[in-house]
Structure 1
Amino acid sequence: MDWQTTKKDFKRYLEFERNLSGNSVHAYLNDVRKLEVYCEDLNLEIEKLTAQHIQHFLLWINEFALSPFTQARLLSGLKTFFNFLQIEYDLTANPCELIETPRLTRKMPSVLNIEEIDSLINAIDLSKPEGMRNKAIIEVLYGCGLRVSELINLKISNLFLDVEFIKVEGKGNKERLIPVGQQAIKYLKIYMDDIRVHQSIKSGKEDFVFLNRRGSPLSRVMVFIIVKDLAQKIGLQKEISPHTFRHSFASHLVEGGADLRAVQDMLGHESITTTEIYTHIDKDYLQSVITQFHPRS
């Protein structure tokens, strides 16, 4: 059993059987590569690795000042790798199986309130050609809770604005339908009918909704820049990114009493545990209300 062959087979497994995205596949293989480097230094063979070896590896990798989150993800990646080896190569035991994941403190994501979102949208300069596009971008990010990768890959053929839905392709190429509100529909239509229609579009890119000046789909970096520039323009003290609008979308739905399963479906979360973080945000909000307004607080 050698590293190169097992990594190649593991890559195929992740791509074709697990149907993971390119970024996820790269992360898994990067985890395995770290272990490979460690084993090569000590002349250890894959099939002879024990739980003690993995523990020593984790101590070694900890010298690089990795966060507990990174260590937990690394261990999870290695467990998946050895599970694969058990299935495909008849490895007798998974050396990661009994190793505990580092304890993690769940970090609450930053969210915006309605006034902050309105201020950001109102700061967009509509006198510029890209102004209406940027307004549609913010409305869709907040109105649908999209990841930035889902936004930049949004297709015209997946807009069903007459029935107030859009279809997006999320992680692992999984498609989902998301309701879209009137504000997002309004500015999407204005952008496409009044701005985008006058652009020259690169061949093969005609179906992408959001385009740059050269007629190509927007990059992730460009969306980050748009959001950061708006935050700077209004003097917003919070550190925000396009993902902040997704957090705000979910948090405001939960605050308003939305069913957690429905929010999970709209966000495209595999596990409801991921969605439950927004109930904690809601509790923090309620606590702040009591602290601010209750006479005995």
Structure 2
Amino acid sequence: MGEFKPVDLFATRRDWDENPREAFRAYVGSIEFVQAGKRGKNGADTIRESSAAVYISMFERFMTWIETRNRSFTSVTQEEIKEFLDLRDENGKTRLTSKIRMVYVRLLERAYEHLNVDSNPAKNLAVGREEPFRRGKEKAKVILKVDDIQRLMESLPAAPAWNENSKNKRQRGWETRRNRALIAVLIGAGLKVSEAASLKLRSMKPKRVDGKIEIDLEIWDGTGTGMKHTAVIEQFAVPEIETWLRELGRMDLPSDLVFPGTIDTADELSKPTIYRLITKTLDLAGINTAHSGGRTLRNTYAAQQLASTNDIGKVGEKLGHRERRATEMYLDAAKKFAEDAV
């Protein structure tokens, strides 16, 4: 963030009601904000610019919503915060993940505490909602069995083979061949759907002597759980991505995306499209799971890695976990994976 701003420039309730975005920016850039958070308690006196940008974006989203209700920041009630956190899309799914909701609760709690409001509308909400979030983390991880992984790879979308000797740079069936490589990377490297959607060619490293491929990733999703890390594509998934990368290198596209949404623009492949692709491929493989999204493939990768190496530290590095406990959550799944493999 650089030099801290004097927070008293936007320290009154009137400031936060008349210029909430400016007031919040000043607060995020203050030492008071840092000291109110976990990092401040640990002795740090700065926050990363990327973190500040995420907090500001989140606050602006919240303000945009409450302004549609003709409410000011200091007049917001706990019920209104709950309503915002529980917003749902057209399919009835919550727009915010449990982790993002927790970040919102803590962020708003700090802002209202800074203003010394008589009844902090986010404080009791934090106490009331954290426990359900924790219970959600304790649910058993949905994973595929060893045989399921093989069936999944055998059920990748069928496409005409790419002709490496053809002069045609953009051959028929390129989208399906892209989809094959995408599924292979999701199950073979444990990437999040968001990581795969934004994956750049410059992140891909040459194949190692052991036949695996490394991917350098730096993802910030607003939860504080992601970090710069190196994912590894396992050998069984390498042929699909290698073939696709050779084809992609000759397509002369306007973007650096590994899995572009189109060939004429720099648009990413949308996450809903990826989720539908995963579900369709699992269906084709005859695999029935409680959840058929990208999380199942990531869970499977994590469980397989822990079952084969029993190295929590190294597996956590591959997954991009900041804390050891995030990787330890897969230990039961790893045990189940190993038992099913016998």
Please give the alpha-carbon distance, in whole angstroms, between the structure 2 residues aligned to 1:176 and 1:218.
22
Please give the alpha-carbon distance, in whole angstroms, between the structure 2 residues aligned to 1:150 and 1:208.
11
Aligned to 1:201: 253
Measured after TM superposition, the shift of residue 277 of structure 1 is 1.9
1:137-182 deviation line (CA, Å, top 9, x unaligned): 1221122211112112212222112443211121258432223333
Seen in structure 2, the aligned counterparts of structure 1 residues 269 and 21 have a Cα distance that, compared at 3 Å, is farther
Please give the alpha-carbon distance, in whole angstroms, between the structure 2 residues aligned to 1:135 and 1:39.
48
Please give the alpha-carbon distance, in whole angstroms, between the structure 2 residues aligned to 1:71 and 1:139.
28
| The one of 105, 126, 145 aligned to 1:78 | 105
Task: Give the total of aligned pairs.
Answer: 273
Please give the alpha-carbon distance, in whole angstroms, between the structure 1 residues aligned to 2:320 and 2:60.
24
Please give the alpha-carbon distance, in whole angstroms, between the structure 2 residues aligned to 1:191 and 1:77.
40
CA RMSD between the two structures = 4.2
Aligned to 2:214: 165
| The one of 249, 253, 277 aligned to 1:226 | 277
Indicate yes or no: 2:194 matched with 1:141.
Answer: no
Structure with a larger share of its residues in helix = 1
Seen in structure 2, the aligned counterparts of structure 1 residues 273 and 25 have a Cα distance that, compared at 3 Å, is farther
Please give the alpha-carbon distance, in whole angstroms, between the structure 1 residues aligned to 2:276 and 2:60.
30
Give yes or no for contact 2:191–2:319 (8 Å, CA) kept in 1. yes
Secondary structure at the aligned position of 1:19 is classed as helix
Q: Tell me the percent identity.
A: 16
Secondary structure at the aligned position of 2:202 is classed as helix
| The one of 172, 177, 197 aligned to 2:230 | 177
Which runs of structure 2 are paired with 1:85-100 in the superposition (5 Å)?
A: 91=116, 95=120, 96-97=122-123, 100=127
Give yes or no for contact 1:120–1:234 (8 Å, CA) kept in 2. yes
Which runs of structure 2 are paired with 1:14-29 in the superposition (5 Å)?
A: 17=48, 19-20=50-51, 29=60
With structure 1 as the length reference, what TM-score do the two structures score?
A: 0.70
With structure 2 as the length reference, what TM-score do the two structures score?
A: 0.62
Unaligned runs of 5+ in 2: 1-12, 30-46, 161-172
Seen in structure 2, the aligned counterparts of structure 1 residues 174 and 138 have a Cα distance that, compared at 3 Å, is same
Measured after TM superposition, the shift of residue 20 of structure 1 is 4.2
Give yes or no for contact 2:194–2:271 (8 Å, CA) kept in 1. yes
Secondary structure at the aligned position of 1:167 is classed as strand
Q: Which amino acid aligns with 1:241?
A: G
Give yes or no for contact 2:278–2:292 (8 Å, CA) kept in 1. yes
Unaligned runs of 5+ in 1: none
| The one of 115, 122, 127 aligned to 2:154 | 122
Please give the alpha-carbon distance, in whole angstroms, between the structure 2 residues aligned to 1:213 and 1:37.
35
